[in-house]
Chain A
Amino acid sequence: MRVFPMPFHSLLLFVVWLLLNNSVSAGHIVLAAFFAIAIPLFVNGMRDEHPKILKPWRAFRYVLMVMRDILVANIEVAWLIIRPIKHLEPGFVAVPINIRSDLGITILASTVSLTPGTVSAEISKDKQWLYVHALHLEGEADLIHLIKTRYEAPLKEIFGC
């Protein structure tokens, strides 16, 4: 049995434990090292295969872009909440998706929930369609185009699938 079956996760656990406790004292380092070694040994067997991040720099830019979009979307939604409700035009939209990996779809669905005034509701069984609820649906085609070009295309580039 290897000591570090999941080296990246071990590092992540180690760092997160120290960050959560806001300390680098000897006791916490020992505890963090214990978790970093013990938890991967337990969960290694439950792992699914995920595609690798092919373009880390592109992924970093994607995260920054999503953070900026979250800010904009928050302000937009806040404005929609204050406005008279009779102007609100909610609606469901089916967005065709081309990403095949589960991880890619999960990240896309989460991004869609956090950003452009939409919440993802369900994914069709064949993983071809992402169902989305929009708080204020103005142009259905525009929304689909936005999701596909702004969020899906970079994700496909990052994971190469």
Chain B
Amino acid sequence: MPLYLEIIICVLLLIGGVFLLLGSYGLARLPDIFTRLHSPTKASTLGITGVLLSSMVFHSYQNGSLSVNELLITLFLLITAPVAAYMIAKTAIHHETPPLDKTKNAHLVSKIRDRQAPKENDEA
């Protein structure tokens, strides 16, 4: 395998690994469920994309033909990650999981639970 390909694969793996590590670190470190949602939906998508791209380059070279199923995996991930995050957020709101104390606009949570508009129906 030529050196420039090895460098490309290494760089992609490193970028992917760093972002996956940061995503997991954020999951462990951030204080409440709503902020924790952000690290798997964002840092991890880029991390996995990096790892999959390096796998694509490696297998394209090894098999002598372009390997594209990694691109499909990335696409599925990009489609499903927001849906999963949405369902987790919805569940947390319905379980009345309290957001962090300093969360701005925390009064919106009760509106979100009932799927009301933020200002109308303000009879609480």
Contacts and interface: CB of A to CB of B under 8 A. Distances in A.
A113 B87 CA distance: 12
B38 A109 contact: no
B19 A78 contact: yes
Which of the four size classes fits the interface of chain B? 35 or more
B68 interface: yes
A72 B71 CA distance: 20
Nearest to A77: B42
A131 B108 contact: yes
A119 B46 contact: no
Contacts, number: 145
A6 interface: no
A73 to B, nearest CB: 6
Contacts of B105: 91-94, 140
A153 interface: no
Interface string A86-126: 00111111100000000000000111111001011111111
Interface string B72-105: 1000001101110110011001000001101111
A133 B34 contact: yes
Interface residues of A, number: 44
Main SS of chain B's interface residues? helix
Contact of B112 (A81, A110, A122): A122
B109 interface: yes
Contacts of A88: 30-31, 35
B106 A92 contact: yes
Contact of B41 (A16, A78, A82, A113): A113
15 contacts: A19-B72, A78-B19, A78-B23, A78-B43, A80-B38, A81-B26, A81-B30, A112-B82, A114-B41, A119-B86, A124-B111, A125-B116, A126-B117, A131-B108, A133-B89
Interface of B: 19, 22-23, 25-26, 29-32, 34-35, 37-39, 41-43, 45-46, 63, 65, 67-69, 71-72, 78-79, 81-83, 85-86, 89-90, 93, 99-100, 102-106, 108-109, 111-112, 115-118
Interface of A: 16, 19-22, 70-71, 73-74, 77-78, 80-82, 85, 88-94, 109-114, 117, 119-126, 128-129, 131, 133, 135, 137, 140
